[in-house]
Each structure stands twice: as structure tokens, then as C-alpha cells.
Amino acid sequence: MVIVQHFPGSVKQYAEAIPFPGHSFAIPDTCPHPDCRASGCLIRWGTYERSARTGDVDYSILIQRIRCQVCGRTHSLLPDFLHPYRHYVIHVLHHVVSLYLIAGLGWRRLMDQLPPPGPGRSTVREWVASFVYGAGHLLLDVLIRQLLALDPLVELPDASGPSHLQRVADSVKRLRLERAHHFWLLAERLYAQLKLRSLQLHFAADQLLPFLLHWLQSLALPPRLFWNPTLSTTPTVPF
């Protein structure tokens, strides 16, 4: 399993730091696997390399692996500038989704906003589809419940989608896009609510997605926002 850890610097700083920052990440008190949850059983268990792409640079970084001495499962301490199972840094994913979902750019204009060589169009379309499925289908209800639990009188933004989503002819796809757009607005509201209760929150406006990864992890849910709906391992029932 992936355990998201906050890293305050950039991917470049992580890649160039000696020793590598992941070695100093705190080991959780309990095993994160739902079938285990044993306490005080996790130990460092080596490292592995993976890429972290920013669009114009492909960094090779080390990821700390830990192991549960009770159940034998291994887990990865992933810096929060990355999203699980994605090679591009989360800032690029955030930029793409916000350009399409919030700013309303079409695919051609959106691709013009990405630095070369950058991801291909098929990759970008898959990112958007995976976020729309994860946010609009799997996670929206969780987010609404959390907001209402924090403040039963909270004023939720209008659930109707923006005008630029009306260009989507497929009604099922359009509805999912509208739900994902609603999720984004509610996620900003969630951050505002939690910021009032925890002034040490350090996420900037362009770090909404890392904040949400930590939030999901705090609920014992997989810290993932991008779920490819075509994969057999992707959940079909909302959390």
C-alpha cells in the first residue's frame, strides 16, 4: 500500500538531497492494511527507484519501503508531490484537470498550455477521465458527508455544472463531469473548513490535490483521486 508523506520542497530538491528525504519520513504507528492494523510493527525495508516527471524533466527518485513484521506486507512512503501510480508530478495533474474542468479549455488549447515535450493527448485525456471517475463517482458522497459532519449548516455550492460542460453531448459523461466539478468546489470548501480548525495547514492554492490525498488517508481510504474506470482493479461502488 501507499502511505502519503508530506514533503515541503520540490521534486528537484527531493531528487538531489543527500541522504534522500524519504529515509527521514516518519514510520506510521500502525500497519495501514485494513486486515492487519497491528501497532508498532513497521520497519524500514529498503528502497526502490521510480520516475517523477515534471513535463520537461524526468527525475529518478528513491522511495522508502517499509514492512509490517506481523502480516509481512510491504508499503511505500510516497512524497506528496506524486500521486500513486502516476509518473508525472501531481502539480502537472492538477494543472491539466483545472484547465479542462474549471477553466473550460478544449483539448487543443489545453495541450498548448503544457510545456514540451510533456504528456501526449491520450495521456492527458486519460488523466481527466480518471479524475472525473474518481472524484465524481467514487468520492463525491464521501466529501459531502465530511463537510456536513464538520458543519451541518454549511452552505454547499450549486451542484449544477458550468456552461462549458454543456458542450459534452453524452449525457452520462456530462453528468459525471458536473459531479467532478462539484467535487472540486467542495474540496476547496473542505480546505477552508479545516483551515479554520487547524491553522498549521500549509497547502497553497495549487496544492489542493496533495491536501486531498492526506485527507483521504486520514479517513482510512486509499489516497487516490485518479481511478482509471477501464481497469478491473478500479472500484465500481462509491466509497
Burial call 90-120: b when 16+ CB within 10 Å, e when fewer: bbbbbbbbebbbeeebeeeebbeebeeebbe
What distance in Å separates the CA atoms of residue 216 and residue 174, rounded to the nearest whole number?
25
Q: What is the pTM of this model?
A: 0.93
Q: What pLDDT shows up at residue 17? A: 94
Q: DSSP letters along 55-107, please?
A: SS-EEEEEEEEEEETTT--EEEEEETTB-TT-SBBHHHHHHHHIIIIIS---H
The helix or strand, by DSSP H or E, that contains position 148, with its residue range, turns out to be: helix 140-150
Q: What pLDDT shows up at residue 159? A: 81
Residue from 153, 146, 140 nearest 179 by CA: 140
Q: pLDDT tens string for the chain (239 positions)?
A: 999 999 989 999 999 999 999 999 999 999 999 999 999 999 999 999 999 999 889 999 999 999 999 999 999 999 999 999 999 999 999 999 999 999 999 999 999 999 888 899 999 999 999 999 999 999 999 999 999 999 898 888 888 888 899 888 898 889 999 999 999 999 999 998 888 887 667 767 678 999 999 999 999 999 999 999 999 999 999 99
